[in-house]
Amino acid sequence: MANPETIAARFARCVDVFRDPVATEAQEAEFRALVELLEDVPVTLTGGAGRIEVNGVPCDVGEMIGLVQQFKVHRVSAIALGRRPPPERLLELIEALADQPRGGETAGPLREFGTDPIRVTLAAPEATPPAGPTV
């Protein structure tokens, strides 16, 4: 069974290589490795305060910086993956995380991941301070 740091690093690398549209061989290799890691254990990745935790264990941010940024861009606070998530759904998740939000719609495609075996929890939009009186 892989440790939390290994799972987080593989997930982060997978998202990173999917951001490069010409890296198809690397994408396939990273994705297959991630699928294998998720065979035996459910995983919850939590992001916030500039870090990633896997199943409650904080991970070294060095390898995770890209994933931390993508969590922030898409307003993701957590991703829960059941044991053996369907590869096609996992691929959709990775592609959505790797992509940039379009037209100001953060978290758009990630909203559809609301039930098992893959759940994405989105952070509440940042509150806009009320406008002060104009003089």
pLDDT digits (tens, 9 = 90+) for 24-77: 999 999 999 999 999 988 999 999 888 899 999 998 878 789 999 999 988 899
Q: Residue 100 domain-assigned? A: yes
- In angstroms, rounded to a whole number, what is the distance separating the alpha carbons of residues 26 and 14? 9
Widest CA span in the chain:
64
Nearest 10 degrees: CA dihedral of 97, 14, 3, 80? 20
128 found inside a domain: no
Instruction: With respect to residue 64, please indicate whether it lies within any of the assigned structural domains.
Output: yes
134 assigned to some structural domain: no
The answer to whether residue 76 sits within a structural domain is yes
Q: Is residue 78 part of a domain?
A: yes
Cβ proximity of 98 and 66 under 8 Å: no
For the chain, the domain total comes to 1
pLDDT tens-digit series, residues 77-108: 999 999 999 999 999 999 999 998 776 565 56
Range of the domain at 94: 4-122
CA distances to 18, 33, 39, 54 from 121, in Å = 21, 24, 22, 14
